[in-house]
Structure 1
Amino acid sequence: MAAGRLSFRNVTALAPMVRVGTLPMRLLALDYGADVVYCEELIDIKMAQCERMENGVLGTVDFVAPDGRVMFRTCEKEKARVVFQMGTADPDRALTVARLVEKDVAAIDVNMGCPKEYSTKGGMGAALLSDPDKIEAILKKLVTGVSVPVTCKIRILPSVEETVNLVQRIETTGVAAIAVHGRFKEERPRHPVHCDYIQAVAQAVSIPVIANGGSLDLVKAHSDIEKFRKETGASSVMLARAAMWNPSVFRSQGLLPVEKVMEEYIKYAIRYDNHAFNTKYCLCQMLRDKVESPLGKQVQAAQTNAEISTAYGLQRFYQEVQEELQAKRDALQSDIQLDRPIMDGDVTTLAVRFERREYPPQITPKMFLLEWSRREKLEQPQYHTVQRSQDRAFQSTVTVADRKYRSSLWEKSKKFAEQASAIVCLRVLGVPEGRIGEEDSGLVCKRKREGKANNSSEEGRSKKLHVDVLQETETQEPAVGMNGDKQSTEPSEPAEALKEAPVR
């Protein structure tokens, strides 16, 4: 392999396990001595909809689904050793996902062994074993389409000959390695692993073969890993349940007490904001027969990582991490240059907030922007607002004269988010925004301001003027859009104002 590419010879790997192979478990396995770690199987259809986002607070790269869920989270610490495993039955879709993640992982793996229905329906997982043409098409597409090594993981077929034939065909696609789970697709963990099948495969191909399936009988501790490798004749070994029960199985110095391991796992879960239900699931796997103990019941009852940390006496650690993460959020926000516009794609951004106290009563930046647009004979400003799912904060983009403007900061309400975007537009254009102490621009005359503030007798007459119909009202519920955000593309001005300007 080329320099810097992940090697699969003489390695011990954390196997891909649904709900287990998330970031905290992968990092813990690396700490204890694993050479390579696989993420859980992620379905291509869901991943293809994700957006890659850099999380400056956690120091991670997140792949976020339209509903706001983080489907895959990784970090620099594992970048050179993490393998992204996908479930797929479509070469083109597989390539789309592989290209989405390839810059953030060390290799791409295709699941061809999972016998569970969620994987086999649609022709994925173990269902691929009966379609070698599709296997070949998927792997060739990936090998020629991405810059990182491509591997696959299979189960054995009914006979040694069939298994060897399939693996030899897979080898011709150019994959870097193949993992072999030594059980038939109808067998489960309680069935003995067929080491002779893995040995036959290892002897039949020149690429590295990774032996998997030894956790039941053969691998109880680190010293057993080498025995399993020799018995199968494989280049490397992949551990699933043995690592799930106690990931310190990768330690050459021997197993650690599972209580110590669980504490270290929780620390990673807290530091990387792992979903609490995923954290609970992994802890329950480690507790095993103690899951009904007082501690186990406390873990099962927990609804948040804070409650989990309390069960393990890690409240202080939890609080310290939350303070640290909040400090990072504040620092990232303060680092944004407030006085210089920054282009985010085709949107001009500034880090500004709308502070109501900085403006006279009944006067807002949106009013000034609308009046300026009318004076310049431009179409009415259009606001597009989204709501962030994790904290329900809002961000708005305003379009004026075919140019877009947005604050890089998120606001507590839709109304404030729109005002902030108007401020950005006005400041970039060098147009007054109506702040207290600002020189009178003539956009909104003094008589209108006083009439609104004092509820004077002029109010009835002023209703016919532009400014008096520009009260900030919320007349529509936002629609659901991408990233689980709520969006509104309709202007928030009342109907009377809309009659006086065309809407794009």
Structure 2
Amino acid sequence: MMAANRLSFKNITALAPMVRVGTLPMRLLALDYGADVVYCEELIDIKMAQCQRVENEVLETIDFVAPDDRVIFRTCEKEKGRVVFQMGTADPNRALMVARLVEKDVAAVDVNMGCPKEYSTKGGMGAALLSDPDKIEAILKKLVTGVSIPVTCKIRILPSLKETVSLVQMIEKTGVAAIAVHGRFKEERPRHPVHCDYIQAIAQAVSVPIIANGGSLDLVKTNSDIENFRRAAGASSVMLARAAMWNASVFSSNGPVLLEQVMEEYLKYAIRYDNHAFNTKYCLCQMLRDKVESPLGKQVQAAQTNADISEAYGLQEFYQQTRDRLQARRDTMQKSSQPNRPVLDGDVITMAVRFQRREYPPQITPKMFLLEWSRKEKLEQPHYETVERSQDRAFQSTVTVAKKKYRSSLWEKSKKFAEQASAIVCLRVLGIPEGRIGEEDSGLVCKRKREERPEGQSKKLHVQEVETSEPAEGTNSERQHGTTPRARMKEFETED
């Protein structure tokens, strides 16, 4: 039964699917400026079929995460009901598997049948499907009957108008909700004029909504041009790619917005939803176009992180505030689900602790205390192994001391903080001071060095010389009750 809120493709203006551009920040930006529907970039069915659906409570998104922890597709509540998932596929069964994976989180599913680039046509996908009508029919019928949301497709025109009309009429019979038509032949590129006469003839030959695409070069430069393109193509709706990529305010009926403001709004979305820095950089460079070699463009090109990009646009404060807010939310969720006590995870002792820089004097760190304690105990220097989580680029470190492993179960925003957190776990499990402000002087580090450095003094940290004789281990009470650091280490001994 057709739902009352089922997405309609009549009289709409849509953001076209664009590889590397149609990610969440750009889609939300287009919606803000007035787009009715937004398409994600083409995502290959084989990759999506391997993904796991994850509710990201920190970002408040739904993520489809690959086995290597890469987020392949990310969406959020703000675009639900208006986002179309476009897939690259040449297999009806795999197409259905992917469509069912995402159907609760998107408004419709689209099959790419028009992209002429090799990454799309290899394996019989994209424009390669245009020469295989039987496969087109099989894929679309499988989807239309197999999912509860609308199914659409996007094609290019064939060498003859007759062939094109015949193909579109066959597609209409599969039950699709709309057909997007890029008015160029497979071998043509954006520099070639769009064939509005073909789109017009197609629209007259079928009753299903036709979405005209391909007018960005010479037909659509402002919002008022969108309606002119729709009329020239005789189409029900219009889909914009490059015109929207260059300045998403083309969707706004209130007139164009300065590119600087558009880029800033895009970047805020990229920061808010932790968009990958290289994708953020790519999209901003596409917006800059001929200004990509300007001082701003060069700064963006040189950026390696979203923090670097934020600095280029003067958004350092927004970036830091957003990171702090997300980290606070992450901390709350992790602490509520994990006990702040030692837990044995395989051969690693874990605790839910985090390194807070403000809790320690500027020149003192837990790593320093752990290193000095290890030296005094004549143990090997602590060894740190750190991993980065691809999903959000957070870090987690494991420290090995006396053949025992320790780590925090919480993920940190930097490699250095992750190592400090693992050192804290080790120190707390063993009952060793960690150098926090207000902590009684343990003698592990010179008292003089615990005080603030005089102005101009070298930043190099100096620690107390190691004593030549091994000190007594623990206090008398600790030795009597077996609560010395060595005794605590034995608590977590495991078999080799």
Give me the whole-angstrom Cα distance separating, in 2, the residues matched to 1:51 and 1:168: 36
Q: Tell me the residue number matched to 2:196.
A: 195
- Taking structure 1 as reference, are residues 159 and 289 closer, same or farther at Cα in structure 2, changes over 3 Å only? same
1:16 maps to amino acid: P
Does the aligned pair in 1 maintain the 2:113–2:128 contact within 8 Å?
yes
Question: What's the secondary structure of 2:124's corresponding residue?
Answer: coil
Give me the whole-angstrom Cα distance separating, in 2, the residues matched to 1:329 and 1:68: 18
Give me the whole-angstrom Cα distance separating, in 1, the residues matched to 2:485 and 2:215: 78
1:6 maps to amino acid: L
Q: Tell me the residue number matched to 1:125.
A: 126
2:257 maps to amino acid: L
Does the aligned pair in 1 maintain the 2:113–2:126 contact within 8 Å?
yes
- Taking structure 1 as reference, are residues 334 and 354 closer, same or farther at Cα in structure 2, changes over 3 Å only? closer
Give me the whole-angstrom Cα distance separating, in 1, the residues matched to 2:91 and 2:275: 30
- Taking structure 1 as reference, are residues 409 and 188 closer, same or farther at Cα in structure 2, changes over 3 Å only? same
Give me the whole-angstrom Cα distance separating, in 1, the residues matched to 2:179 and 2:480: 79
Q: Tell me the residue number matched to 2:288.
A: 287
Give the drift of 1:79: 0.8
Deviation readout 1:389-442 (Å, 9 max, x if unpaired): 4334389xxxxxxxxxxx9866969x98xx99xxxxxxxxxxxx999xxxxxxx
Give me the whole-angstrom Cα distance separating, in 1, the residues matched to 2:154 and 2:254: 29
Q: Tell me the residue number matched to 1:97.
A: 98
Q: Tell me the residue number matched to 1:28.
A: 29
Deviation readout 1:83-114 (Å, 9 max, x if unpaired): 00000001111111111111110000000000
Q: Tell me the residue number matched to 2:374.
A: none
Does the aligned pair in 1 maintain the 2:13–2:35 contact within 8 Å?
yes
Give me the whole-angstrom Cα distance separating, in 2, the residues matched to 1:277 and 1:454: 49
Give the drift of 1:317: 1.1
Q: Tell me the residue number matched to 1:88.
A: 89
Percent identity over paired residues: 76
The runs of 4+ residues in structure 1 deviating greater than 6 Å are none
Q: Tell me the residue number matched to 1:393.
A: 396
Q: Tell me the residue number matched to 1:77.
A: 78
Give me the whole-angstrom Cα distance separating, in 2, the residues matched to 1:165 and 1:282: 37
Q: Tell me the residue number matched to 1:207.
A: 208
Q: Tell me the residue number matched to 1:481.
A: none
Does the aligned pair in 2 maintain the 1:388–1:394 contact within 8 Å?
no
Q: Does 1:12 align with 2:46?
A: no
Question: What's the secondary structure of 1:393's corresponding residue?
Answer: strand
Q: How does 1:59-458 map to 2 (within 5 A)?
A: 59-336=60-337, 353=352, 388-389=389-390, 390-393=393-396, 449=482, 453=486
Give me the whole-angstrom Cα distance separating, in 2, the residues matched to 1:198 and 1:188: 17
- Taking structure 1 as reference, are residues 314 and 387 closer, same or farther at Cα in structure 2, changes over 3 Å only? closer
2:396 maps to amino acid: A
Q: Does 1:50 align with 2:34?
A: no
Deviation readout 1:108-128 (Å, 9 max, x if unpaired): 000000000000010000000
Give me the whole-angstrom Cα distance separating, in 1, the residues matched to 2:77 and 2:50: 23
Deviation readout 1:174-211 (Å, 9 max, x if unpaired): 11100000000000000000001101111111111000
Does the aligned pair in 2 maintain the 1:110–1:151 contact within 8 Å?
yes
Give me the whole-angstrom Cα distance separating, in 1, the residues matched to 2:262 and 2:336: 37
Question: What's the secondary structure of 1:300's corresponding residue?
Answer: helix
Alignment RMSD, CA only? 3.3
Does the aligned pair in 1 maintain the 2:339–2:352 contact within 8 Å?
no
1:168 maps to amino acid: Q
Does the aligned pair in 2 maintain the 1:112–1:153 contact within 8 Å?
yes
Give me the whole-angstrom Cα distance separating, in 2, the residues matched to 1:165 and 1:112: 15
Give me the whole-angstrom Cα distance separating, in 1, the residues matched to 2:102 and 2:31: 20
Does the aligned pair in 1 maintain the 2:152–2:178 contact within 8 Å?
yes
Give the drift of 1:333: 2.7
2:140 maps to amino acid: L
Give the drift of 1:335: 4.1
Question: What's the secondary structure of 1:249's corresponding residue?
Answer: helix
Does the aligned pair in 1 maintain the 2:199–2:235 contact within 8 Å?
yes
Question: What's the secondary structure of 1:254's corresponding residue?
Answer: coil
1:29 maps to amino acid: A
Give the drift of 1:2: 3.3
Give the drift of 1:37: 0.2
- Taking structure 1 as reference, are residues 335 and 183 closer, same or farther at Cα in structure 2, changes over 3 Å only? same
Give me the whole-angstrom Cα distance separating, in 2, the residues matched to 1:8 and 1:248: 21
- Taking structure 1 as reference, are residues 394 and 104 closer, same or farther at Cα in structure 2, changes over 3 Å only? farther
1:223 maps to amino acid: S
Does the aligned pair in 1 maintain the 2:430–2:484 contact within 8 Å?
no
Q: Does 1:39 align with 2:40?
A: yes
Deviation readout 1:25-51 (Å, 9 max, x if unpaired): 000000000000000000111111111
Give the drift of 1:76: 0.2
1:391 maps to amino acid: A
Give me the whole-angstrom Cα distance separating, in 2, the residues matched to 1:326 and 1:434: 28
Give the drift of 1:63: 0.8
Give the drift of 1:330: 2.1
Give me the whole-angstrom Cα distance separating, in 2, the residues matched to 1:452 and 1:28: 56
Give me the whole-angstrom Cα distance separating, in 2, the residues matched to 1:454 and 1:127: 69
Deviation readout 1:237-284 (Å, 9 max, x if unpaired): 000010011000000011111111111111111111111111111111
- Taking structure 1 as reference, are residues 388 and 245 closer, same or farther at Cα in structure 2, changes over 3 Å only? closer
- Structure 1: runs of 5 or more not aligned: 340-350, 357-385, 396-406, 421-432, 436-445, 456-466, 473-492, 499-504
- Taking structure 1 as reference, are residues 15 and 324 closer, same or farther at Cα in structure 2, changes over 3 Å only? same
- Taking structure 1 as reference, are residues 322 and 452 closer, same or farther at Cα in structure 2, changes over 3 Å only? closer
- Taking structure 1 as reference, are residues 200 and 451 closer, same or farther at Cα in structure 2, changes over 3 Å only? closer
Give me the whole-angstrom Cα distance separating, in 2, the residues matched to 1:408 and 1:318: 25
Give me the whole-angstrom Cα distance separating, in 2, the residues matched to 1:321 and 1:68: 23
Give me the whole-angstrom Cα distance separating, in 2, the residues matched to 1:294 and 1:240: 27
Question: What's the secondary structure of 1:104's corresponding residue?
Answer: coil
Question: What's the secondary structure of 1:122's corresponding residue?
Answer: helix
- Taking structure 1 as reference, are residues 205 and 325 closer, same or farther at Cα in structure 2, changes over 3 Å only? same
Give me the whole-angstrom Cα distance separating, in 1, the residues matched to 2:292 and 2:256: 20
Does the aligned pair in 1 maintain the 2:40–2:86 contact within 8 Å?
yes
